[in-house]
Chain A
């Protein structure tokens, strides 16, 4: 039996291979651990590996299979998780010095779900510190590199997950998305990612960045993989008061269904200056592909989208400034002793947080402070409603909306570090969707002239993840771009 290409197979295929005995779960784990050892030095996608545990979990799957017991939908599938998701007994650092060595005493809800589905955890993946960033350069433990070009960023904040999946160091991964943090890295690395409707997936155990925006999202090398992961982790959790009781569906069942007649709105905003011509070109071709599938493209304008970046960069940092107040050196994490209590707080947080985190805490504190709350935070929340209304109006005319996922392909490491605002503009297409709370998927739709992946983003009304899976799968099948592996990592 050859396992030379198991690492390129989809998670769904791997699960079937394990279930039918073609390969053992333990062999799969060994294969992926071997690839990590060989390749991750170049990528720095992994912050922590748990090989013994993974082998033990895999062995349990193999025993269950041998005993004829029923196997879960991800049985034996090697997965990896962004390091802002709590894993009991396994370090969870959020890529921050503040939590270096911190080991949570509990599993996040989504981690519990993956385990029950039989998935095998390989390790924890790199991110921008506390999920704040668009390039994974804000990690306290070094950036992750893009497997398509090691001089470039994999995007962020879920750069680790996107790079690991793209380079076949893990079959699938879980990331988190607040303003685009699974979608944009997926676009940069040529993989597929879903940001669910806000409230679709429990946030219990996801270290909070912006509570009204954060969602856990799957990344995979096919729409089907992402859909199956979503089905496994979605659903109501009584431990998260913002998680909804709306029933989930088997999203995978949408794969293969026809999309003829689907009205596809092409968002006009953002396609002008600042958007790379390769990107707009790739999107235009993608729209043509959708047309050949029987979809009906129509131009759509979302007039308040131009306020999305400003709105997001008031709301998200405001919530973050409050969410990160718990990192004070008292109960866990880094403590730097000062002369008195205030001094200890100050020294601990100065040493523990990186510059971008500090920047956002300051921004957020300012936006909430007395005399400014009305003009900033309250106003931003009102504009957020206007953005949401733009989407409601658009969905009266269309079934889904499409745009590029990011205005450019992956940029060079260090290229945007000196200009935070330029970095923020990376998320121009993804931010408004997060503000509106609606679901979106990023699928590979082309390559730049330099051979860098380009992604198309599709969004749908709230809780219509099934519709997204249907159209993304149809597109993926028509394009055949998804299962391409970066040349250096095949």
Chain B
């Protein structure tokens, strides 16, 4: 009898924070410095050194906890997590145990039309470990670089509410974009600024008890997350269906072998002997700090998309593309807001949104460079709005606008300037268009006959001929009107 299993997955995400200095000392957090240069007695764990908390990092953690709907512990406490490892300078990590910054939040995701409310158990603050570099020249040494040691981290723990690899990927994507929109994380997986561990178990469908869970560590690529989770689910199913039991262990995903492999077994489960860190008095989050955090809670991506689709009538697809990066979202909103005033109120905000959305997707994004949270656009949002207003007013055609934009991107000149200098204003003189159209129709009798006998696609030929004759500056609407009038006659 084949039992049907459902996966039960919880995620632990470690997010670095975009602060300039470490969690408990003033050393720089800048990535890529030569080894052991961003260090001091505190993050090296020298005798006599003491930690002092980083206020900006705590503010970011509070902001994130609020964005995830957590209850904030206004009295919060740092705790020592004691274990020995060369990348842990003090022999303990300063983390949080009881009274973390935030608890009992949630993040709602949607996959294949199914909504899932994923509980956030807790959000806490801690310091990152140093980096072990295994191998060395002889292959036997491990080198330790303490630059990363002490970097601020937020650990975000979800309830085991996820039920598929697809949901895991969606949760990570949504969480990452929230962190980026809050300005607390740059979303860079390659540099390790966002790391994920998964706890995966399976159980027969309908069974309330949880199965034995396996920890899957360091899923650090969106490319591999689905494969890794799927492989582990299949592996566990195979074990149970074969009559075996799932062993509680820690595994990692090997992309080369496309499977999960054991990292360490259960016997290494450590007693961390957590206790409140006596070097750090209880953290009291003042009303001022809470108010500041709330004020910085900008509209989050999901809310933005919902607003764009309902108020601006954007499609889900467009909304997703434009909200993929906080800089792009801001650019879109600025452009969409600037457009109606430039059109003397003849354009609704919904129409403005659609114009901006379409043009940005077709012409702007491929000329935009993003790195972390930075985005470099080919023009300003205001300049683009100006160009789009010219299209609205019929001064230039949509097609012409694309060429103008290309020139704006390379020269930095404004749309109006380019139109004036190059004389690109659309020809709206109906008599001119009329005479051109007549000429084209008269000199192409064959095509006229084709069109009138039902081959409507030939219409484009006539349009093209007129455009050629007018160097592309004929108002397409007028051209269409005139041509139909001339051609549709019997």
List residues of chain A with CB under 8 Å of any chain B CB: 85-86, 92, 94, 99, 102, 104-106, 108, 203-208, 210-212, 238-242, 318-319, 321-322, 324-328, 330-332, 341, 345, 365, 368-370, 373, 377
Contact = CB atoms under 8 A, between A and B. Distances in A.
B84 interface: yes
A241 B49 contact: no
B468 to A, nearest CB: 75
Contacts, number: 101
B452 to A, nearest CB: 88
A105 B275 contact: no
Interface of B: 41, 44-53, 80, 82, 84, 86, 89-92, 144, 271, 273-275, 277-281
B84 A322 contact: no
Contacts of A331: 44-46, 89
Contact of A211 (B45, B47, B91, B279): B279
B279 A241 contact: yes
A321 B44 CA distance: 18
A409 B326 CA distance: 72
Given A204-B49, A369-B273, A325 B90 contact: yes
A332 B275 contact: no
A86 B86 CA distance: 23
B83 to A, nearest CB: 8
Given A105-B41, A330-B144, A373 B52 contact: no
A104 B273 contact: no
Nearest to B82: A322
Given A205-B48, A241-B51, A241-B281, A326 B91 contact: yes
Contacts of B47: 86, 92, 94, 99, 102, 104, 207-208, 326-327, 332
21 contacts: A104-B41, A104-B47, A105-B41, A106-B41, A203-B48, A203-B50, A208-B279, A240-B50, A241-B51, A241-B281, A242-B278, A242-B280, A319-B278, A322-B91, A326-B45, A327-B47, A330-B144, A345-B84, A365-B273, A373-B274, A373-B275
Nearest to B45: A326
Given A108-B48, A241-B51, A328-B86, 6 more contacts: A206-B48, A211-B278, A241-B279, A242-B278, A325-B91, A331-B89
Contacts of B277: 211
A239 B50 contact: yes
Contact of B281 (A204, A206, A242, A326): A242
A252 to B, nearest CB: 28
A325 B144 contact: no
A377 B275 contact: yes
Interface of B is mostly: loop
Given A105-B41, A241-B279, A241-B281, A332 B91 contact: no
Contact of A105 (B45, B46, B51): B46
A238 B52 contact: yes
A242 B84 contact: no
B278 A368 contact: no
Nearest to B24: A241
Nearest to B44: A331
Contacts of B51: 241
Contacts of A99: 47
B82 A325 contact: yes
A377 B278 CA distance: 13
Contact of A325 (B52, B53, B84, B281): B84
Given A94-B47, A332-B46, A370-B271, A241 B278 contact: no
A205 B49 CA distance: 6
B52 A370 contact: no
A303 B90 CA distance: 38
B405 to A, nearest CB: 53
Nearest to A315: B278
Nearest to A237: B50
A207 B45 CA distance: 11
A-B pairs with lowest CB-CB distance, top 6: A325-B91, A211-B278, A212-B278, A368-B273, A207-B47, A205-B48
